[in-house]
Structure 1
Amino acid sequence: MYLADHTWPELGDRLEGSSTAIVPLGSTEQHGPHLPLATDHLIAEGLATAAAEETGFPRTPTVDIGVSPHHRQFPGTLWVDPPEFRDYVESFTRNLAYHGIDRVVYVNAHGGNVDHLREVGRRLHEDGTMYAIEWMWDESIPELVDDLFERNGPHAGPKETAMITHLAPDLVHPEEFEAARDGGLPDMGDAETMVHGARTFYDAVDNSANGAFGDPTDVTPEKAERLFEAAADQLVRLLEWLDAREFEALMPEPRVV
C-alpha cells in the first residue's frame, strides 16, 4: 500500500491494523555513462513497491536525495550533508510513530546512506520510539550477485545495471557498457588509493574517471529479473520476520545489574 495514493479516512482504517512500514531511500547522483542519476532511488522504490504489494504494509514516498558529496564532481549529482539527512529522516520517521507505526525498514539503495540510517535507527531505538533498521538490497543476496557477474563493483557496476535494466530499461544505455568498463575501474583490486593500509581517497573520481566501478557488459534481462526477484523476496521475508516480533522484545534490554 502506497500511503500517498490514499485519502486520510482510508488511511485511518488501514494504519490502525498495521505496525510495520516501508521507507525507500536512495540518491540522485552519477552512475557512470550508462545509467541515470536516478539509479539508486529507482531501485529502492522498485523493491519497496514490490514488497508493499506482496505484504500489504504501508510504503512511504521515496527519499530521492541522499548523502552523495563524494560524487559531486560529476554534473547533476545532488546531495545533502549528513547531519541534515539524519535529522530529516528521523523527523519523518517519528511522524510514522505518531500514526501508530512502531517498526520501520529503511529500504536503502545507496551506500552513502548506510551509516546515517543506522544512526537514526539507534536514536529511535534508544529512546524507545520504534525499531527502525536499514536494509541494503545487494547485501541480502551476496552469493547470487557473485554468481551472476564476474566483475562486480560497488557503484554503477553490473548489479546496479541489472536492476535498472529490469525496472527502467529505457533509461539504460547499453551502447555505453564497454565505455563504462574501459573508462572506469572494472577491478577494485586495481585501485591505487590504498597506501600502507590507509584509504587515500575521498571522492569517486579519485578511483574512476567516469564514475563506474565493475564490468556491466555481461548483464542480460534474464539475470536482471533473477536479481530483482531474489532481492524482493529477501525484503518480504525481513518484513514478515519483523512484523511477527513482539515490540517489547525489540526494545533495549534493561541495565545489567
Structure 2
Amino acid sequence: MELAAQTWPELGSYFETESLALVPLGSTEQHGPHLPEGTDHIIAESLARAAADRTGYLCTPTVNVGVSPHHRQFHGTMWVDAPVFRDYVESLVSNLTYHGIDRVVFVNAHGGNITHLREVGRRLHDREEAYAIEWMWDESIPTLVSELFEQNGPHGGPKETAMIQHLAGELVREDRLEDAHEGGVVFPTDDSHRNGARTFYDCIDNSANGVFGDQTDATAEKGKRLFEAATEQLCELCEWLDEQPFEDLVAKPHV
C-alpha cells in the first residue's frame, strides 16, 4: 500500500489494524558515466514498493536526497548536511507515530545514509517512540552478490548497474560501460588506507570517474535475481518485525 495513493479514510482503516511502515531512502548523486544520478532512490523505492505490494504494509514517499557530500566534485550531485538529514528523518518518523506507527523499516540504498539512519533509530528507540531499523539491500544478500560478480564495487559497480538495467534499463548508458570500468578502480585501492587509517574523504580521491568494480559484468538478468532475492529478504524482515511485541523492542531498563 502506497501512502501517497490513498485517501485519509482508507489510511485510517490501515492504522486501525497495522503499525508498520516502510520508508525508502536513497540519494541523488553521481554514479559514473553510465548510470543516472537517481540510481539509489530508484532502487530503494522499487524495493519498498515491491515489499509493500507483497505484504500489504504501508510504503511512504521516498526520501530522494541523502548524505552525499563525498560525491560533490561530480556535476549534479545533491546532498543535505548530516544533522539536517537526521533531524528530517526523525521528524518524518515522529509524524508516522502520530498516526499510530510504532515500527519502521528504513529501506535504504545509499551507503552514506547508514550511520545517520542508525542514529535516528537510536534516538527513537531511547525515547520508546518507535522501533526504526536501517535495511541496506545488498547487505541482505551478500552471498548472491559475490556469486554473480567477480569484481564488485561499492558504488556504481556491477550490482547497482545490474539493478538499474532490470528496473529502468532505458536509463543505463550501455555504450559507456567500458568507459566506466576503464576509468574507475577496484576498491579498496592500495593507497586508500595507510597503517590502519583511511586516507581519503571523497570518492574522487580514489576514482577519477566516481565508480568502482567491473560494470561490464552486469546484466538485467542478474539484476532481476538481485531484486527478487532482496525483496524476499525485506518481506521476511517486515513480517518478523510486525510479529514482535512492542514491549520487547523498546530500550531495556537499567540493571
Aligned residue for 1:68?
A: 68
- Structure 2 stretches of 5 or more lacking a match? none
Percent identical = 66
Letter in 2 for 1:219: A
Aligned length, in residue pairs: 255
- Structure 2 counterpart of 1:252: 251
The structural deviation recorded for 1:10 is: 1.4
| Equivalent residues in 2 for 1:131-170, closer than 5 Å | 131-170=131-170
**1:225 is aligned to 2:224:** yes
1:242 paired residue number: 241
CA distance in 2 between counterparts of 1:255 and 1:198 reads 36
Q: Which runs of 5+ in 1 are unaligned?
A: none
Match of 1:192 in 2: 191
The two structures have a TM-score, normalised by structure 2, of 0.99
1:113 partner letter: N
Q: Secondary structure at the match of 1:188?
A: coil
Cα deviation 1:176-216 (Å, max 9, x = unaligned):
1111011011x214341212221111100000000011111
Which residues of 2 match residues 174-193 of structure 1 at below 5 A?
174-185=174-185, 187-193=186-192
Q: State the secondary structure of the residue aligned to 1:190.
A: coil
String of CA shifts for 1:22-49, please: whole Å, max 9, x gaps.
0000000000000000000000000000
Question: Is the Cα–Cα contact under 8 Å of residues 163 and 220 in structure 2 kept in the other structure?
Answer: no
Matches of 1:49 and 1:191, distance apart in 2: 39
Distance change (3 Å), C-alpha of 1:189 and 1:80: closer
SS at match of 1:133: strand
Q: For residues 191 and 211 of structure 1, what CA distance do their matches in structure 2 show?
A: 17
Q: Give me the whole-angstrom Cα distance separating, in 2, the residues matched to 1:250 and 1:75.
A: 43
Shift, 1:6, TM fit: 1.0
Structure 2 Cα separation of the partners of residues 193 and 104 of structure 1: 35
Deviations 1:115-148 (A, max 9, x none): 0000000000001001000000000000000000
**CA distance in structure 1 between the aligned counterparts of 2:192 and 2:94, rounded to whole angstroms:** 40
| Cα separation, 1, equivalents of 2:178 and 2:42 | 23
| Runs of 4+ displaced beyond 3 Å | none
In 1: Cα distance, 2:124 partner to 2:172 partner: 38
- Does structure 2 retain, via aligned residues, the 8 Å contact 1:191–1:207? no
* CA–CA separation in structure 2 for the residues paired with 1:46 and 1:94: 24
Partner Cα separation in structure 1 for residue 71 and residue 189 of structure 2: 20
Q: Which residue of 2 aligns with 1:209?
A: 208
Aligned AA (2:249)? L
**Contact 2:155 2:212 survives alignment (8 Å):** yes
